[in-house]
Amino acid sequence: MSQNTPTSIRPQEEEIDLREELEKYLRYWPWFILGVILCVVIGILYIKYSTPQYNTTASIIIKDEESKGPSSEMAAFADLGLLGGMGASSIENEMGILRSKTLMSQTIKALNLNITYFEEGAVKSKELYNSSPFKVVALQLDEKALENSIKEERGNAFYIIPKTNENFHLINTETEEVFEGKFGNPVAINFATITVEETGLSLEDEEREISVRFSPLESVVGKYREAVNINLTDKNSSLLELSLVDPVREKAQDILDQLILEYNQQAIEDKNLVATNTAEFIDERLAIINQELDSVEVGKEEFKEANQLTNIEAESEMFIENASDYKKRQQEIGTQLELANAMIAYLETGSNSDLLPANLGIEESGVNDLIGEYNTLVLERNRILSGSTEENPVVLRLNSQIEQMRANVLQSLERMRNNFLIAQKDLDRQAALIGSQISAVPAKERQYRGIERQQNIKEALYLFLLEKREENSLSLAVTAPKAKIVDSAYSNNTAVSPKSKIILLAALILGLLIPFLIIYIKTLLSNKVKSREDLEKHANIIPVVGEIPRVEKKQNEMIVKNDRSILAEAFRILHTNLQYLIVNTAEKETGNTIFVTSTVKGEGKTLVSFNLAVTLANTNKKVIIVGADLRNPQLQRFEKKAREHIGVSDYLANDDLKLKDLIRESNTDNPNLQLLPSGTIPPNPSELWRRQKTGEMFKELEQMYDYVIVDTAPSLLVTDTFLINKWADVTLYVVRAGHTEKKLLQFAVDSKRDGKFHDLSFVLNDVKWSNFGYGNKYGYAYGEEKKSFLKRLLNKAAVY
């Protein structure tokens, strides 16, 4: 069981740690509520006063130029080889043209979008597109002057204020310069010459002011080039979708429709320009080729008449065919001669036992038969020799036959060779005769062939150009748009921004996140003691006997009789806890001495000392407060005349003074509480505390009072407290929340381990309500009147 116990309780410890982490943030719940309310209100205001944006879409199909074939105006140049390496325009190129600055500039100019009209409102302005009561036409606009006017903050916006039916005033919104003019007449302003005309439209509220704004063309073009999105719906199609997000739906629709119109217009102009240039080029080439063709045909006619030529080509072909036959026969006879020579050489060098090669391609069948018979005899002899000797009569007879057959084969081969030599000489003579006949063809025939070749080339090119001229004429006559409109521009009725649900959700999350991050970062960067948990975490060997809440400026720092405040209750709890610390001194016949110290000054030692003394005195115990901080006495905060009286330092320095003569009555009107001031600030406090009279003073005070509360000096700064701590029954170490650094707690821990303090315990002072014990969760102000939720929320927020 003992081995399983740690494992079984581990999940519970993790759960407790998680709950404690959550409580660190939940104690600040008023800030989370205020953060959510503030962010949601800001989100609602943003939704209300932001300009809604609408999405406008148009769809087009780009016609595929590659599918046109011969009818394309580029086909003529492509067939002529003038566009080698250039393919037809791809869909990516067309998307690039639609995004081009040139096309958008033409669109902006056509719609006059660099001049906009607004109805001025208290919070935001509303753009008037096609609904303005006035129309401004720029007769002349200096773009550089307009840009300089914007940079120099001289204004590019003007109010239009009618004065009569004919006159109006233009007022510069920045410089308040006034220009007077008549409707329909030119008016010169800083950067343009304009005319203002009435459109006949009226506003819902005639008291609203109408402003006209002039924008540089470059900036407007850049704005809408970035705003227009062009997407290919499918990679295998040429269907493009154009979209634009703009607060004015009619304006966005006009921009997309005009952009498509300008694209088609540009494509038609390019097509017509290419077709026109193609027609001019073809006509020029036709004129030149026509002249060249006439010249070639006349030359051919004159050449044939001069040389009396008929059909020499047929005769030349016959001579060439005969020459080819003779040449082939010469090759065959030469092959037979080589075979005959090879066989004769083989017979002359070989022996009677060797077989002769057969089936070499010799055309003489008689020779082939003799070779076959010879090989048969040789094989027969060799077969018999494998079982007998050379002296065998059969072998001798076969040898005689082989010798005779060998002579016959050799004689036949020589005869065949002689016949082939005779045939070869006859073929050589016939070939020479045919060659002389071919060489007899006049060289002029070759000239005639060159003339005829030039005629065929010119004639083919002339017919080709005639065909292309007709195709180009048809292309020039047809001016169909390149982009077919599938859907004209249309807008959604639902705004794409602001999205109310998303903004409110983001506001809600942000309202929770901002306080969380502030608290987290503040906690992460904090190096001060904040709560009891910090003391227990960094100095757990020292118990915490009390927590003193923060006293606001308007509240009284001193406890009064029958006080029911949280401060008084905190000191009553401290009093109760002290009873457990001084239980070991219960057998003492004298009173108890309680030292109050801290690490550095400003941590509230005097406040704790005085209020603890008042609390003890209210229980009908005789209590005295001793000002033991001889270097920087602070009891005058609660006893205004404490600095005027002699006290501890004077007593320790002067042996003639009596202790009872130095004790003063407290200003609290409590007869049980008295005061021993610090007295005159001495030059050597440490030397005074080392005197024997110190112990005598504490013993005498314990004889006179039930409790001796000693307000000592800071322990880290001076050694005074360590010198007199041996007279303490209990030492209260004051730590101030939000003031004492966590690393200074190690000083108290080390001092306790070294035995420098007697019965050391922590008192946490100036604790915020959110960190104060269990009071924040369960309600420390027991018995007080219950406040409304709003008041409690505001009070908590103020406390935090």
Q: 610: domain CATH number?
A: 3.40.50.300
**How much is the pLDDT for 5?**
36
> Are the beta carbons of 612 and 575 closer than 8 angstroms?
yes
> Are the beta carbons of 724 and 694 closer than 8 angstroms?
yes
| Same domain? 643 vs 710 | yes
Which of 525, 559, 582 lies at the terminal end of a domain, its last residue?
Answer: 525
Q: DSSP state, 243?
A: E
| Same domain? 537 vs 666 | yes
> Are the beta carbons of 286 and 466 closer than 8 angstroms?
yes
Which of 406, 421, 441 lies at the terminal end of a domain, its last residue?
Answer: 441
Q: Which range, of 294-303, 315-324, 447-456, averages the lowest pLDDT?
A: 315-324
**Whole-number percent of the chain with pLDDT over 70:** 82
Q: Is 219 contained in some domain?
A: yes
Q: How far apart are the first and last CA of the chain?
A: 47
Q: Is 199 contained in some domain?
A: yes
Q: Is 338 contained in some domain?
A: yes
Contacts of 29 (CB under 8 A, 6+ apart): 796
pLDDT at residue 104 is higher than 90: yes
Mean pLDDT value of segment 712-723: 87
Q: Which two tokens stand for residue 266?
A: 């540009």
For residues 39 and 20, the model is more confident at: 39
| E strand residue ranges, 398-460 | none
Alpha-carbon gap, residue 192 to 174, rounded angstroms: 17
Mean pLDDT value of segment 434-453: 66
Identity of the amino acid at 797:
A
Contacts of 228 (CB under 8 A, 6+ apart): 99, 104, 242, 243, 244, 255, 256, 259
Confidence of residue 49 (pLDDT cuts 50, 70, 90): confident
Mean pLDDT value of segment 306-310: 59
**Residues 615/601/522/512 CA torsion (nearest 10 deg):** 30
Q: Is 627 contained in some domain?
A: yes
For residues 448 and 175, the model is more confident at: 175
Mean pLDDT value of segment 679-695: 88
Confidence of residue 39 (pLDDT cuts 50, 70, 90): very high
Confidence of residue 778 (pLDDT cuts 50, 70, 90): very low
| Same domain? 322 vs 383 | yes
**How much is the pLDDT for 360?**
65
Mean pLDDT value of segment 698-724: 89
pLDDT at residue 563 is higher than 90: no
**How much is the pLDDT for 773?**
60
Q: Which range, of 74-88, 164-178, 345-359, 399-413, averages the lowest pLDDT?
A: 74-88
| Same domain? 537 vs 623 | yes
| Same domain? 555 vs 506 | no
pLDDT at residue 81 is higher than 70: no
| Same domain? 682 vs 571 | yes
Angle at 527 between CA 524 and CA 530, to 5 degrees: 90
| Same domain? 693 vs 757 | yes
**How much is the pLDDT for 203?**
61
pLDDT at residue 734 is higher than 50: yes
**How much is the pLDDT for 225?**
92
Alpha-carbon gap, residue 107 to 260, rounded angstroms: 9
Mean pLDDT value of segment 454-480: 75
Confidence of residue 14 (pLDDT cuts 50, 70, 90): very low
Q: Is 754 contained in some domain?
A: yes
**How much is the pLDDT for 763?**
92
Model confidence pLDDT, tens digit, residues 521-553: 887 887 888 888 888 888 888 999 989 888 876
Helices marked H in 526-658: 532-538, 566-581, 605-617, 648-653
Q: Is the peptide bond preceding residue 498 cis, with omega within 30 degrees of 0?
A: yes
For residues 490 and 551, the model is more confident at: 490
Model confidence pLDDT, tens digit, residues 592-619: 999 999 988 888 888 999 889 999 998 8
| Same domain? 664 vs 551 | yes
Q: Is 705 contained in some domain?
A: yes
What DSSP assignment string belongs to 66-129? GGGGGGSTTHHHHHTTTTTTPPPPPHHHHHHHHT-HHHHHHHHHHHTTTEEEEE--SS--EE-S
Alpha-carbon gap, residue 353 to 168, rounded angstroms: 136
Q: How many CA atoms lie within 13 A of 441 on its CB side?
A: 19
Mean pLDDT value of segment 304-331: 67
Q: Which two tokens stand for residue 57?
A: 């879409």
Confidence of residue 287 (pLDDT cuts 50, 70, 90): confident
**How much is the pLDDT for 10?**
40
pLDDT at residue 88 is higher than 50: no
For residues 157 and 795, the model is more confident at: 157
**Residues 86/91/97/98 CA torsion (nearest 10 deg):** 170
**Whole-number percent of the chain with pLDDT over 90:** 18
Buried b / exposed e over 767-776, threshold 16 CB at 10 Å, is bbbbbbbebb
Cα 261 to its chain centre, rounded Å, is 36
**How much is the pLDDT for 221?**
93
Alpha-carbon gap, residue 730 to 592, rounded angstroms: 8
Contacts of 631 (CB under 8 A, 6+ apart): 681, 685, 713, 718, 720
| Same domain? 28 vs 104 | no
Domain coverage including residue 227 = 58-81+92-269
Confidence of residue 508 (pLDDT cuts 50, 70, 90): very high
Confidence of residue 401 (pLDDT cuts 50, 70, 90): confident
Question: 489 to each of 183, 227, 257, how far by Cα in Å?
Answer: 34, 15, 6
Q: What is this structure's pTM?
A: 0.55
**How much is the pLDDT for 73?**
47
Confidence of residue 245 (pLDDT cuts 50, 70, 90): very high
- Angle subtended by helix axes 249-307 and 101-111, to nearest 10: 120
**How much is the pLDDT for 256?**
94
pLDDT at residue 688 is higher than 60: yes
Confidence of residue 796 (pLDDT cuts 50, 70, 90): low
Alpha-carbon gap, residue 89 to 76, rounded angstroms: 16
Q: Is 708 contained in some domain?
A: yes
Q: Give backbone dihedrals phi and psi of 521, rounded to 5 degrees, phi first.
A: -65, -40
Q: Which two tokens stand for residue 540?
A: 């757990």
For residues 9 and 702, the model is more confident at: 702
Question: 567 to each of 257, 458, 547, 571, 572, how far by Cα in Å?
Answer: 77, 120, 9, 7, 9
Mean pLDDT across the chain, nearest whole number?
Answer: 80
| Same domain? 504 vs 550 | no
| Same domain? 352 vs 417 | yes
How many structural domains is the chain composed of?
4
Q: DSSP state, 551?
A: P
Q: Is 592 contained in some domain?
A: yes
Model confidence pLDDT, tens digit, residues 362-382: 777 777 777 778 778 777 777
Confidence of residue 9 (pLDDT cuts 50, 70, 90): very low
Question: In a 3-state reduction of DSSP, which class is residue 780?
Answer: coil
Which of 475, 490, 525 lies at the terminal end of a domain, its last residue?
Answer: 525
| Same domain? 356 vs 339 | yes
**How much is the pLDDT for 213?**
92
Alpha-carbon gap, residue 209 to 183, rounded angstroms: 17
pLDDT at residue 777 is higher than 60: no
Widest pairwise Cα distance in the chain: 179
